[in-house]
Amino acid sequence: MTIVRKSSGVKFQKSRPNLWFEKIMAIIAVINLLLVIFDLSYVPIRDFWLHGQIRLGNLRSAYVSIPGIKLDIIPDDISQFILQYDNVKGIVPNRTTEKYLSKVAELEQKLETTKINDPEIIPILSDLRRRSVEMIQNDAFEEAGKSGNLERLKNIMREYLPNEEQSSKQAFWQFWSVNYLQNNTTAKLAFFNDEIKPLIETNYYRHIGETGGYVDNFGFLDFPFGAIFALEFLARTWLISRTRTGVSWIDAMLWRWYDVFFFLPFWRWLRVIPTSVRLQRSRLLPLNIGNRIQKQISQGIVAGIAEDITEVVVIRIINQLQISIRQGDISNLLAERNQNGYIDINNTNETAEIIKIFANTMVDRVLPKIQPEAEALLQYSLQKAIQQSPAYQGVSFLPGGKTAVSSLTKQLVSQTYSGFAAALKAVLEEDKKFEQLLESLFTNVNQSFVSEIKARQSLNQIETLLVDLLEEIKINYVERLSAEDVEQILEQTRSIRKITQN
């Protein structure tokens, strides 16, 4: 360990060999993640690896045709090298379309030395017409999930050789005929090689294994990475358990739970989680980028499970309340203070003490602060009541009568309010006799209330109604609560965090 001394104290920094090990493991993790991404995307984008080009703005249908722009991205030799990955995914050429293209190649080879109307050419054209119809009727592209390419192929042929029935079969039948190919044979075959042949080449057959699924040998490529990370996981967690006090080997494994994704044979895409963590800790990524990646991953996990957790927790609470009500916990709560089995941990009547605290707060703090407003309200109410009396009507005609009544009312209200506050304060002072009387009052009220409810059989009705009410809440509102927009909650959380940081 190297020590870095600063004015604020002594800080320890990881030794350089340990940091280099973290960087090496992070690079291996990135390589493995890229391999996983390539494997997961290989079959869906195999057409791109096959031809090494993309089309922009290309749209074809039976009614609309918009020519696109072809962009060559990958050279042919690199495309052929990448296509060797077909062996890993168990992909081989489809026999039907492969034989079809072989017949076309045979036709082109024959035309180099003979003419289109030569007797050797006629059987080949007849065979191509038959194969074209079979390819369309039997949908030779369906097994590979390439039926969309077959539809594109049919649309191109309908557009190239329109007919009254708008039939792609009839278009192919006409295309592979002597009468049609005898003029501009080279240009017409060039059309086939540029537009039709690339679509036919995308078709393939994928072997099925004994398990019933497609053959996939990616596990053989992934095994060395899994073995490396599994051994590193065992060694690292063992070292953590040896260097951390009170941490067992199992605890250390749970501590590094995210590393398990490196050697799981399924859900391989989840390896983005430990890879981002390793890139951050190895300092191969800037700290802020690493933190953002980790934060987005954690928020995504939270958003995914928050709805389920919310629903489970709320339903669990409501079910527990219903069980407690059915078991008679309401009556027990009301009556058990008077039973010998009730445990009092501090020899104090908490209900009475809470009421005293509220009363003292009201007398010492609240009543003095609200005195002007309270007196004004009382004075207004009293004056209004006096003004409506017949006696006030006679006094008001006397000189100074209204002023005298107003002054008397104000004085009466002030003295009454002050007297009430003083009396209440005197009552709340330490007085054992008062506390005994208050305790006795609460006890009698509690006993009377419980006995009356039980005597009239109201408690069972109350419990039944409460259980039904909770069931209605669970049905009508819990689903709304769980379906609340989790992303909106996360957005509010981020806003609050930003405000607190500023």
If DSSP states are collapsed to H, E and C, what string results for 395-446? HCCCCCHHHHHHHHHHHHHHHHHHHHHHHHHHHHCCCHHHHHHHHHHHHHHH
Residue 206 clears pLDDT 70, i.e. is over it: yes
Mean per-residue pLDDT, 280-301:
65
Spell out the domain ranges in the chain. 94-206
Q: What is the DSSP string of 250-297?
A: HHHHHHTGGGGGGG-SS-GGGGHHHHHHHHHHTTSS-HHHHHHHHHHH
Look up residue 176 and give its DSSP letter: T
Q: Which residue matches tokens 């024959």?
A: 110
Q: What angle do CA 48, 53, 56 make, to 5 degrees?
A: 105
Residue 14 clears pLDDT 60, i.e. is over it: no
What is the reported pLDDT for 4?
A: 42
Buried b (16+ CB within 10 A) or exposed e, 398-429: eeeeeeebeeebbeebeeebeeebeeeeeeee
Q: Which of 60-69, 145-154, 207-216, 276-285 has the lowest mean pLDDT?
A: 60-69
The dihedral built from the CA positions of residue 214, 220, 224 and 230, taken in this order, carries a sign that is positive
User: Which neighbouring-strand residues pair with 66?
Assistant: 59
Residue 479 clears pLDDT 60, i.e. is over it: no
Helix (H, G, I), strand (E, B) or coil at 6: strand
| Calpha distance 267→265 (Å, rounded) | 7
Residue 28 clears pLDDT 70, i.e. is over it: yes
What is the reported pLDDT for 209?
A: 85
Residue 464 clears pLDDT 70, i.e. is over it: yes
Nearest in space to 102 (alpha carbons), one of 112, 93, 114:
93
What is the reported pLDDT for 3?
A: 40
Give the chain's radius of gyration (CA, Å).
Answer: 44
What is the reported pLDDT for 230?
A: 93
pLDDT grade, residue 27 (50/70/90)?
Answer: very high
Look up residue 362 and give its DSSP letter: I
* Pairing mode of beta strands 53-56, 69-72: antiparallel
Helix (H, G, I), strand (E, B) or coil at 177: coil
| Calpha distance 459→477 (Å, rounded) | 26
Q: Which residue has the higher pLDDT, 50 or 489?
A: 50
Residue 428 clears pLDDT 70, i.e. is over it: no
Please tell me which of 4-13, 137-146, 365-374, 418-427 the model is most confident about, judged by mean pLDDT.
Answer: 137-146
| Calpha distance 207→217 (Å, rounded) | 11
What is the reported pLDDT for 7?
A: 39
Q: Which residue has the higher pLDDT, 495 or 235?
A: 235
